Amino acid sequence: MINPEKKVFIKQKAKEIRISIIEMLLKAGSGHTAGALGMSDIFSTLYFYAMKHDAKKPDWNDRDRLVLSNGHICSVLYATEAHAGYFDLDRLLTLRQFGSMLQGHPHREFLKSIETSSGPLGSGLSQAVGMAIALKRDSFKNNSSYPYVYCIVSDGEQNEGQTWEAILLAPREKLDNLIVFVDRNYIQIGGNTEKVLPLDPMDKKWEAFNWHVQNIDGNNVSEIVDAIHIAKEHAGIPSVIIAKTIPGKGVSFMENDYKWHGKAPNKEEAEKALLELKSLRIY
């Protein structure tokens, strides 16, 4: 269980991250809004509570790894890393500009703290499985504990066959150092996921592939923290946390509207969104 002070701190960081996301997307004039806002609580919890990392040493060998498979929501990753001290906050306003290290999809050669380049949906989980295998084997050779690999995947990219190949392999390799978060927000660029290509019951499908499965409220910090602790208690098996999130979380006119999946706010919309976010009380 997380102490109340730390919980408030994480929620405050999530609020700051959401404000940065709106500011970034407004400046860029393009990007993906809904998913980034919806995942801010999970990213805040990972970077400010769960993950072992060092902003001063982004290539530290013993760091936990974070693989963002659904790279189109990279504004939440960039904003979180900036607030965690990886680079100056001012640089966030270069999102999607030519030559910026903050590309519209993450590019690992532009930013040392980015583990993988992502954009093509469905490939991230395979990359995370490979990392988890390598880290676990290295730890056996060195007689040391192994870092965790956290992988963020969207629900829509589970339409991809490669995702299920990775899901099939991880239990065979007993990857208990792999924790996957599924952003279960029920939207993709074409509409509601269950209308595009039904995915439910998602938990039963992962269970059938021999994963440890949890369903949580992905906007509830306490549930996120507890789920991570529970996942780490299950030896010899990979874990998936199916996190039901509200796309556009924190901005009333964006919430649960799939049209904000791949749309950036204009000036009037951004001002309205920022007013709501800045007035949000944290407790």
**CATH number of the CATH domain containing 106:** 3.40.50.970
Please state, in angstroms and as integers, the Cα–Cα distance from residue 237 to each residue in 58, 109, 181, following that order. Answer: 28, 32, 15
What would the pLDDT profile of 176-212 be if each residue is shown by its tens digit?
A: 999 999 999 999 988 999 999 999 999 999 999 999 9
- Structural domain of residue 190, as residue ranges? 4-278
Contacts of 165 (CB under 8 A, 6+ apart): 126
pLDDT at 143 (0 to 100): 60
In a domain, 223, yes or no: yes
- Residue 79, in any domain of the structure: yes
Over residues 47-83, the pLDDT tens digits come to 999 999 999 999 999 999 999 999 999 999 999 999 9
Residue 283 counted as domain residue: no
Query: Quick one: pLDDT at residue 141?
Result: 64
Residue 74 tokens read as: 């990279």
- Confidence band for 139, pLDDT divided at 50, 70 and 90: confident
How many domains does the chain contain in total? 1
- What angle, rounded to 10 degrees, do the helices at 74-83 and 4-28 form? 120
Query: What tens digit of pLDDT does each residue of 247-273 get?
Result: 999 999 999 999 999 999 999 999 999
Would you say residue 95 lies in a domain? yes
> Taking the complete model, does pTM exceed 0.75, yes or no?
yes
Determine contact, residues 39/218, Cβ cutoff 8 Å: yes
Q: Which residues pair with 215 in a beta bridge?
A: 242
CA–CA gap between residue 80 and residue 264 (Å, rounded) = 19
Tell me the C-alpha to C-alpha distance, in Å, between residue 103 and each of 77, 132, 202: 12, 26, 31
Nearest Cα to Cα of residue 78 among 100, 55, 102, 61:
102
Cβ neighbours of residue 40 closer than 8 Å, sequence gap 6 or more: 14, 17, 18, 21, 76, 79, 80, 249, 250
| CB neighbourhood size of 142 (10 A) | 10
Question: Taking a C-beta distance cutoff of 8 angstroms, is the pair 122, 161 a contact?
Answer: yes
- Bridge partners of 153, per DSSP, are 182
